[in-house]
Amino acid sequence: MLEHGGRLLAAARQYGIPVAQWLDLSTGINPQGWPVPALSPECWQRLPEADDGLEAAAAAYYGNPRLLPLPGSQAAIQALPTLFQPAAVACLAPLYAEHPQAWTRAGHKVRLLQGANLARALAAATPTVLLCNPNNPTAARHSREALVDAAGQLRRRGGWLVVDEAFADADPENSVVDLAGGPEAPNLVVLRSIGKFFGLAGARVGFLFAAPELLAALAERLGPWAVAGPAREAARLALADTPWQEAARRRLAADSRRLQELLAPLGSVAATPLFAALTTDEAESLHDFLARHGILVRQFDVQPRLRFGLPGDDAGWERLAAALTEWNDR
């Protein structure tokens, strides 16, 4: 099984620091997530039903009714490749590692195009192109216009464009979720999650947007009651809370700028509103230094890169700033 951020218990054991004393910046999840209210007793006592308002709330929020609720977008990542005949898949790498692993496991020939742009991926002439937008972990972005054009090129040769938009909610300008599976882009498949922006990773709710036949095939694969009733209710309420969403986007944008300013003296920084990617030759040493100060960030082995999530309060910001100042003053 692949390693991901959020392995706080393992870090606590490795460095001998109690869990409660850590500042966990390893996941890129909104640290001030949507405040879940008390949920109805019925959502705990009854089996989930598809007409409970979740699909309608998601269609309104994303601008697309061609959707399937999932027990986290991870469910689509693992099952989607099995719905296609084995073929070549071009992945713009580095990217969320579960994607290439799932396509490889399903018998596809995965081409990892390290550092490639979208034009190079299209030139590879593979039937399917897969990317994250914004990308995890590099924070690179593709414009909406470029993605629409790519979907059109792939459609003309019978191919598919798969876009993971797990981090798109905080800055949705380049999202193509509204077009997925529709007349303009029937070969476009988009994955979304409420785990990152809404800070509800534990609810395990995501969505697949695609052509109806693909949604039906995945629904059959997942079986009934794929998303738990309490998770459905929480997701429905969060998706409908427009004032919270607007306030969260403003706050995340400001916090992202603050994080970039802190990291700028250390190397090359790219960012989304939810995390910053720092490229530095001292990535391994800095990761260890911060961990010994009880600050957990995500280290990537392929390139000398660290991913920093956002502190959730003033104490966290002050602690991170103090540690980075100490690092710079060595």
Q: What is the CATH number of the domain that holds 171?
A: 3.40.640.10
Q: How many domains does the chain have?
A: 2
Q: Does residue 279 register a pLDDT over 70? A: yes
124 pLDDT band, cuts 50/70/90, is: confident
Same domain, 230 and 172: yes
Q: Is 41 within the bounds of a domain?
A: no
Q: Is 312 within the bounds of a domain?
A: yes
Of 89-98, 100-109, 167-176, 300-309, where does mean pLDDT reach its minimum?
Answer: 300-309
Q: Is 232 within the bounds of a domain?
A: yes
301 pLDDT band, cuts 50/70/90, is: confident
Predicted pLDDT at 66: 98
- Dihedral sign of CA atoms 73, 75, 78, 79 in order: negative
Write the CATH number for 23. 3.90.1150.10
Taking residues 14-26, report their average pLDDT: 95
Predicted pLDDT at 125: 83
Same domain, 253 and 109: no
Predicted pLDDT at 314: 97
> Which helix or strand (DSSP H or E) is residue 132 part of?
strand 128-132
Taking residues 17-22, report their average pLDDT: 95
Same domain, 222 and 144: yes
Taking residues 65-76, report their average pLDDT: 97
Q: Does residue 308 register a pLDDT over 90? A: yes
Q: Which residues contact 294 (CB under 8 A, 6 or more apart)?
A: 15, 17, 21, 22, 23
Q: Does residue 3 register a pLDDT over 90? A: no
Q: Are 308 and 290 in contact (CB under 8 A)?
A: no
Q: Does residue 2 register a pLDDT over 70? A: no
Same domain, 219 and 264: no
Mark 6-23 as b/e (b = at least 16 C-beta within 10 Å).
bbeeebbeeeebeeeebb
Same domain, 153 and 18: no
Beta-bridge partners for 68 = 208
Same domain, 312 and 208: no
4 pLDDT band, cuts 50/70/90, is: low
Same domain, 163 and 280: no
Same domain, 156 and 94: yes
Domain boundary among 240, 261, 289: 240
Average pLDDT, the chain: 95
Q: Does residue 31 register a pLDDT over 90? A: yes
Predicted pLDDT at 300: 85
Same domain, 236 and 251: no
Task: List the domain range (segments joined by +) for residue 76.
Answer: 48-240
Question: Token pair 């109805």 is at which residue?
Answer: 40
